[in-house]
């Protein structure tokens, strides 16, 4: 299976799980990866150059997906808007740009590990877009969904297994991620406590609210 891989920290637990999953004799399946930022993976998926991937939620409405996503119950720390007089999109993003527009905010959108580093630097003027969404609608925000073109049974099995897994991230993996992202291991663990993956009832309500508001903006 060719899997689109976004190497942001918010998917670190999932990618480590995938390694264990693919090596197990019970669930053996060969995974190959195409790597990129969310906007690139969206394009690879749309062109069917990958079989499955976490797709930006704004691009996933008409796709087949499982109940697994990148979800912020309240704040997220890694999707920020830096206030200014102009609206500047993050070229790596899709859903976050639309979210800022829905919220009627002006400024520069930044996402991913870059945004998390900015948050950790202590910029108190930066707006956490997921937090602002929750303040306004009292719902979680779904940034991405695990979508698939084929291998549906295997993807559903993988998603179910991931939701049941509660493995801690080994220290050596945290150290490796810290070296790659220039974010301290303790800060990574703190950040991941804000990320949810299961698309539960409230998350689905937030997702459908987002889709509805996005469609209204297009009219």
**CATH at residue 136:** 3.40.190.10
Task: Please state, in angstroms and rounded to a whole number, the distance separating the CA atoms of residues 134 and 142.
Answer: 11
In a domain, 120, yes or no: yes
pTM: 0.93
pLDDT at 24 over 80: no
Task: Please state, in angstroms and rounded to a whole number, the distance separating the CA atoms of residues 79 and 119.
Answer: 9
Sheet containing strand 127-128, edge to edge, reads 107-111, 79-83, 127-128
DSSP-based three-state secondary structure for 32: strand
- In contact, 44 and 53? CB cutoff 8 Å: yes
- What single-letter DSSP state applies at residue 85? S
In a domain, 23, yes or no: yes
- Chain segment 133-188, per-residue pLDDT in tens: 999 999 999 999 999 998 889 999 999 999 998 778 999 999 999 999 999 999 99
In a domain, 217, yes or no: no
In a domain, 121, yes or no: yes
Task: Please state, in angstroms and rounded to a whole number, the distance separating the CA atoms of residues 8 and 3.
Answer: 15
pLDDT band at 19 (very low <50, low <70, confident <90, very high): confident
Task: Please state, in angstroms and rounded to a whole number, the distance separating the CA atoms of residues 15 and 174.
Answer: 13
pLDDT at 92 over 60: yes
In a domain, 215, yes or no: no
Q: What is the length of the chain? A: 219
Domain that holds residue 92: 2-206
Q: Give the helix/strand (H/E) hosting 53.
A: strand 52-56
Number of folded domains that form the chain:
1
In a domain, 180, yes or no: yes
**pLDDT score for 168:** 85
In a domain, 43, yes or no: yes
In a domain, 214, yes or no: no
Sign of the CA dihedral 167, 65, 115, 210? negative
């Amino acid at each position: 299976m060719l899997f689109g891989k976004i190497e942001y920290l918010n998917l670190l637990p999932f990618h480590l799980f995938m390694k264990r999953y693919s090596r197990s004799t019970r669930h053996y399946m060969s995974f190959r990866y195409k790597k990129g930022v969310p906007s690139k993976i969206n394009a690879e998926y749309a062109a069917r150059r990958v079989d499955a991937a976490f797709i930006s939620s704004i691009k996933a409405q008409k796709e087949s997906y499982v109940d697994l996503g990148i979800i912020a119950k309240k704040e997220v720390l890694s999707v920020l808007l830096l206030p200014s007089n102009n609206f500047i999109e993050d070229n790596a993003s899709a859903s976050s740009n639309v979210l800022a527009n829905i919220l009627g905010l002006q400024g520069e959108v930044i996402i991913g590990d870059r945004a998390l580093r900015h948050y950790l630097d202590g910029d108190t003027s930066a707006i956490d877009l997921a937090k602002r969404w929750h303040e306004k609608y009292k719902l979680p925000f779904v940034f991405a969904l695990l979508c698939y073109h084929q291998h549906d049974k295997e993807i559903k099995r993988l998603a179910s297994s991931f939701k049941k897994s509660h493995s801690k991230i080994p220290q050596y993996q945290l150290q490796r991620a810290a070296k790659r992202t220039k974010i301290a291991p303790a800060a990574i663990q703190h950040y991941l406590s804000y990320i949810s993956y299961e698309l539960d009832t409230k998350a689905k309500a937030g997702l459908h609210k987002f889709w509805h508001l996005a469609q209204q903006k297009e009219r």
